[in-house]
Chain A
Amino acid sequence: MGVMRTRKHAATGLAAAAGVILASGLAWAADQYGPGVTDSEIKLGNTMPYSGPASGLGTLGKAEAAFFAMINDQGGVNGRKINFITRDDGYSPPKTLEITRHLVEEEQVLLMFSALGTATNTAVQDYLNDSKVPQLFIATGAAKWDDPKHHPWTIAFTPNYHIESRIYGRYIGKSLPNAKIAVLYQNDDFGKDYLVGLREGLGDKAEKMIVATKSYETTDPTVDSQIVTLQGSGADVLLTAAVPKFAAQAIRKVYDIGWKPTHFLSYPSSSIGGVMKPAGLEKSVGIISATPFKDGTDPQWQDTAEFKDWAGWMQKYNSAANFGDPFYVDGYIRGQLMLTLIKTAGNDLTRENMMKLATSMRDVKLPMLLPGITASTGPDDYQPLKQMQLQRFDGNTWKLFGEVISGSGS
Chain B
Amino acid sequence: MEKPVAPAAREVAGDSYAGLNAGVWRLIGVLALIALAAALPFALSKYQVFELTMVMIYAIAVLGLNILTGYNGQISLGHGGFFAAGAYTAAILMHRYGVPYWATLPPAALICFVLGVLFGLPALRFEGPYLALVTLAMALAMPQLLKYFDTWTGGQQGINLVKPLPPPGLGLDHDRWLYFVVFVVLLLAIRVAANLLNGRTGRAFVAIRDHPIAATAMGIDTARYKTIAFGTSTLFTGVAGALSAIVIGFVAPESFSLFLSISFLVGSAVGGIATISGAIVGGFFIQFVPNLANDISDAAPWAIYGLAMLLFMYAMPRGVVGSLGPWLARWKRQA
Q: Say whether chain A's binding surface is mostly helix, strand, loop, or mixed.
A: helix
Which residues of A (177-206) have their CB < 8 Å from a CB of B?
188-190
Contact residue among B155, B254, B301 (Cβ-Cβ distance under 8 Å from A189): B155
B294 CB–A CB distance under 8 Å: yes
Determine whether the beta carbon of A93 is less than 8 Å from that of B248. yes
A52 CB–B CB distance under 8 Å: yes
Determine whether the beta carbon of B252 is less than 8 Å from that of A188. no
Residues of B within 8 A of A93 (CB): 158, 248, 250-252, 254-255
Residues of A within 8 A of B291 (CB): 102
Binds A, one of B7-15, B143-151, B310-318: B143-151
Contact residue among B54, B163, B248, B254 (Cβ-Cβ distance under 8 Å from A91): B254
Q: Say whether chain B's binding surface is mostly helix, strand, loop, or mixed.
A: helix
- Complex Cα distance A93/B252, Å? 7
Residues of A within 8 A of B155 (CB): 188-189
Q: How far is the CB of B259 from chain A (nearest CB, A)?
A: 7
Given contacts A94-B244, A188-B147, contact A88 B158 (CB under 8 A): no
> Which residue of chain A lies nearest to B143 when distances are taken between CB atoms in the complex?
A53
B323 CB–A CB distance under 8 Å: no
A92 CB–B CB distance under 8 Å: yes
Residues of A within 8 A of B50 (CB): 98, 101
Which residues of A (28-53) have their CB < 8 Å from a CB of B?
51-53
Given contacts A52-B259, A123-B250, contact A98 B156 (CB under 8 A): no
B216 CB–A CB distance under 8 Å: no
Q: How far is the CB of B252 from chain A (nearest CB, A)?
A: 4
Determine whether the beta carbon of B156 is less than 8 Å from that of A119. yes
What is the interface size of chain B, counting residues whose CB is below 8 A from a CB of the partner? Answer: 32
Residues of A within 8 A of B254 (CB): 53, 91-93, 117, 119-120
Determine whether the beta carbon of A217 is less than 8 Å from that of B156. no
B160 CB–A CB distance under 8 Å: yes
> Which residue of chain B lies nearest to A189 when distances are taken between CB atoms in the complex?
B157
Encoded as 1 (CB less than 8 Å from any B CB) or 0, chain A from 115 to 156 comes to: 001111011011100100000000000000000000000000
- Complex Cα distance A117/B156, Å? 11
Name 15 extra pairs, CB < 8 A, besides A90-B259, A97-B250.
A51-B301, A93-B248, A94-B244, A94-B250, A97-B248, A98-B54, A105-B46, A118-B157, A122-B157, A122-B250, A123-B255, A126-B160, A127-B249, A189-B155, A219-B144
User: What are 18 inter-chain pairs, A to B, with CB distance below 8 A?
Assistant: A52-B257, A53-B257, A93-B248, A93-B250, A94-B244, A94-B250, A97-B249, A98-B51, A106-B45, A106-B47, A119-B156, A123-B252, A123-B255, A126-B160, A126-B249, A130-B163, A217-B148, A219-B144
